[in-house]
Amino acid sequence: MTGQWAVPDSLSGIGAFVAVVRAGSFTLAAERLGVTKSAVGKSISRLERRLGVILIRRTTRRLQLTHDGEAYFRACSAALDGIAAVEAQITPYDEVLRGRVYIDMPMAFGKSVLLPILLEIAAPHPELALTMSFNDATVDLMRDEADLAIRFGQIPDSGHLIARKLTSLERVICASPSYLKAHGIPMNPSDLNGHRCIVGTSHGPPQHWTVREGGHDTQITPPATYQLSDGESIVKTAVAGFGLCQMPVPLVRPKIERGLLVPVLEAYSGVMVDVNILWVQQATLAPRIRYVIDRLMEYAQRGALA
């Protein structure tokens, strides 16, 4: 094609192929690429026809790379990551930011605290897109392709993840006035054994609580009367009068201020929990990701997350 640049045939479909493998589904890859599922499928089919091999075996339940597909994915993935690294080195993030940042965060904290902040961060950059997921289960950044994750508590040692503390939040044990009227007010941690408690699940918020006794933080296991997989549901269940809960202060402060929840065991409070931001270790972060991290750190330093 004279006088006009065109994408080489050898590159056609590579981006879609890598996106599908990393996402684990055509639907999620299409969402992240901003195109239709059909367009992604056709792009990969054309790529397979050009190469003369099958790259992905499609079943109703899962996608599976063929032997050729695994080798091709390793090469293509490394090449695309290399291009992204070079672009990050030559593009300062104070220029026009383009592309999508996928952020996974705890449900209650994400919706009530982080969501409005992230929208403010993105507002000055019309070409910066955000994918935000809210859940209290642990997300594997390598598997789920989240660029950033926000997590409470201690982060296990990992050779492939970077973690930075954003802030620390105080935890409080509280219940609704109606619950305390019906069941009494616990005066010390041992009293919790006679109460109805709302805790998390093995893949969600903690099933254990932490109290401060004698200047030391002590982990206790309250009765698991109700087990819920996300913090937002825990707070709602406590407001409805079903029992006691322990949550970071920002998640229950509005309810306490309105008299919907009442703090208890305040003499045993003062226990802090760290809020961390995590990302996959790599040679160079894309400017759009560096921008979101830096701005979140700025908001945290100003106390906006507490």
Distances in Å between the Cα of 263 and the Cα atoms of 26, 153, 174, 213, 241 are 47, 22, 4, 17, 14
Residue spans per domain, the chain: 9-90, 99-161+275-301, 168-273
Distances in whole angstroms, Cα of residue 48 to Cα of each of 5, 23, 41, 77, 246: 24, 19, 11, 17, 53
Give the architecture-level CATH label for domain 168-273. Answer: 3-Layer(aba) Sandwich (3.40)
One-letter amino acid for residue 37 of the chain: K
- Phi, then psi, of 11 in degrees rounded to 5: -100, -15
Indicate if 168-273 has the same CATH topology as 99-161+275-301: yes
Check if CATH label 3.40.250.10 holds for domain 99-161+275-301: no
In the three-class reduction of DSSP (H, G, I as helix; E, B as strand; rest coil), residue 187 is classed as: coil
The token pair at 227 is: 């087990």
pLDDT, one tens digit for every residue, the chain (306 residues): 444 444 455 566 898 898 888 878 888 888 777 788 898 999 999 999 999 999 998 876 678 899 999 999 989 888 887 776 676 566 555 556 888 899 999 999 999 999 999 999 999 999 999 999 998 876 566 556 788 999 998 876 666 778 899 999 999 999 999 999 999 999 999 999 999 999 999 888 889 999 998 888 999 999 999 999 999 999 999 999 999 999 999 999 999 999 999 999 999 988 999 999 998 876 567 888 899 999 999 999 999 998
Those residues with Cβ within 8 angstroms of residue 183's Cβ, 6 or more apart along the chain or in another chain? 195, 196
Using alpha carbons only, what angle is made at residue 273 by residues 236 and 115, rounded to the nearest 5 degrees? 55
Tell me the pTM: 0.69
Return d(Cα 258, Cα 270) in angstroms, integer.
22
- Name the CATH architecture for the domain at 9-90: Orthogonal Bundle (1.10)
